[in-house]
Structure 1
Amino acid sequence: SLLPFFRGHSAIFTQPHEPWAFGQPYEVINRMTIQLRYRLLPYLYSVVAQCKEYGWPIVRPLFMAEPTNVQLRSVDDCYLLGESILVAPVLEKGAIERQVYLPEGAWYDFWTNDLLAGGQTITVTAPLERLPLFVRAGSVLPMWPEMHYVDVNAVQTLTLRVYPGDTETTLYEDAGEGLGYEDGDYRWVYIACERDGDKLIINRRTAGRYEPPYQSIKLEVVGLNREPSEVRVDRQGAPVWFYDADILELTVDTFRRVEITIPPVSPHEATLPHRPR
């Protein structure tokens, strides 16, 4: 489900293989997998746009994240989806875990939000219902709500899931159909994360004339090791925000800058977020 094309083909007199044709528990697992794809469509759309604009591959070999590591040139059992997501499918029948090399830098486990140090091989549990996924620290994943198909309902809120780190993420938006983009009806969105003492700062800027249909943006900032003492949006105090299980949730109409202050445990500690392990 995390490849550009996601299609099932068959032929007459062959065994049916629609997502619901295999019984339980596979029908539930297939549904979860398809829902994840649809939630990540804005990210995948951005990766496709970057491929068109700059020629960067949509699906990338691991060595593109660490070009000097010649050993990665022979790795063919996992891949990068764009620059932010590492996908490590299980290819051995019956396996419930696998080893994954994380390129240099820091990575978050997509499912647990654990922060992991790169430049190492880890063993990750991989039950059938959970594809091993990792997100590069500093990335921002745009996500839609769950839906049965594209445009079943107009998207009212775009979720931006922020994985703290020091880097910039580039997103692309247009109408999703038609040729308006050829006349300039599109925009690029640049979102950068940075640390400044006890603050996590998220800056957002746009370039282009396209106006998306969604009315609000929901920020999900993962991996915060303590509840923030203050959240400011465009230098004003945020009216409402929620913190639970290391995740900050905040919904705004729009923003250019978000500042999140994390109080240290002691005057000598100011770590943001968890140190990778």
Structure 2
Amino acid sequence: MRAGAGLPLSERITHVSAEKDNTRELKLFPVKGVGTTSGMLFEDDGESWGYQNGNALWVEWEMVCDGATINLKVNARGDYRPAWKALKVSLPVGEKRTLLVNGVEGGEWVV
């Protein structure tokens, strides 16, 4: 995985159903040392054209890394609310820097 990437993950389900898709994780792969990267997670109902009228969720993130911290800044827009209510944020095994989500120590962002 490329340094600075964020990989959105869900639990494996045999049939995609918006109501049953209630887990979301953003696995971060922070840069070594100092750096900033960004990305976007898009969610909608998977069936309609509602996203054209704002009935979707755009979760924009920026990861700011330094020698001591990884600060994930998260901002969302759109009217859609998925079945998952919180985005779990995880780091690779062995990452020692403190994880901040919107400036607060922790590993979760609530929709």
Quick one: structure 1 residues 201 and 210, their matched pair in 2 at CA, closer, same or farther if it must change by over 3 Å?
same
Query: Structure 1 CA distance, aligned partners of 2:66 and 2:82?
Result: 31
CA contact (8 A) 1:163 1:223 kept: no
For the aligned residue pairs, the C-alpha RMSD in angstroms reads 2.5
Matching residue of 1:191: 61
Quote the offset at 1:214 in angstroms.
0.7
Residues 28-72 of structure 1: per-residue CA shift (max 9 Å, x gap): xxxxxxxxxxxxxxxxxxxxxxxxxxxxxxxxxxxxxxxxxxxxx
Query: Structure 2 CA distance, aligned partners of 1:201 and 1:235?
Result: 6
Matching residue of 2:27: 161
The structure carrying a bigger strand percent of its residues is 2
Query: Structure 1 CA distance, aligned partners of 2:77 and 2:18?
Result: 28
Q: SS of 1:149's equivalent?
A: coil
Query: Structure 1 CA distance, aligned partners of 2:40 and 2:105?
Result: 27
Which structure would you say has the larger RCO, counting Cα contacts within 8 Å and 6 or more residues apart?
2
CA contact (8 A) 1:158 1:216 kept: yes
Any gaps of 5 or more consecutive residues in structure 2? none
CA contact (8 A) 1:189 1:204 kept: yes
Quote the offset at 1:209 in angstroms.
2.2
Query: Structure 2 CA distance, aligned partners of 1:152 and 1:194?
Result: 31
Quote the offset at 1:233 in angstroms.
4.3
Q: SS of 2:51's equivalent?
A: helix
Alignment of 1:27-106 (within 5 A): none
Query: Structure 1 CA distance, aligned partners of 2:19 and 2:81?
Result: 18
Which residue of 83, 86, 89 corresponds with 1:216? 86
Query: Structure 1 CA distance, aligned partners of 2:37 and 2:104?
Result: 24
CA contact (8 A) 2:72 2:100 kept: no
- One-letter amino acid matched to 2:76: T
CA contact (8 A) 1:170 1:190 kept: yes
Quote the offset at 1:232 in angstroms.
4.5
Which residue of 48, 63, 85 corresponds with 1:178? 48
Residues 69-119 of structure 1: per-residue CA shift (max 9 Å, x gap): xxxxxxxxxxxxxxxxxxxxxxxxxxxxxxxxxxxxxxxxxxxxxxxxxxx
The structure carrying a bigger helix percent of its residues is 1
- Report which of the two structures shows the higher radius of gyration computed on alpha carbons: 1
Quick one: structure 1 residues 153 and 203, their matched pair in 2 at CA, closer, same or farther if it must change by over 3 Å?
same
Any gaps of 5 or more consecutive residues in structure 1? 1-134, 239-249, 256-277
Matching residue of 1:254: 110
Query: Structure 1 CA distance, aligned partners of 2:60 and 2:78?
Result: 11
Task: Give the TM-score, by structure 2 length.
Answer: 0.76
Identity of aligned residues (%): 25
Query: Structure 2 CA distance, aligned partners of 1:253 and 1:204?
Result: 8
Quick one: structure 1 residues 237 and 191, their matched pair in 2 at CA, closer, same or farther if it must change by over 3 Å?
closer
- One-letter amino acid matched to 1:186: A
CA contact (8 A) 2:22 2:82 kept: no
Query: Structure 1 CA distance, aligned partners of 2:109 and 2:17?
Result: 21
Matching residue of 1:145: 11
Quote the offset at 1:204 in angstroms.
1.0
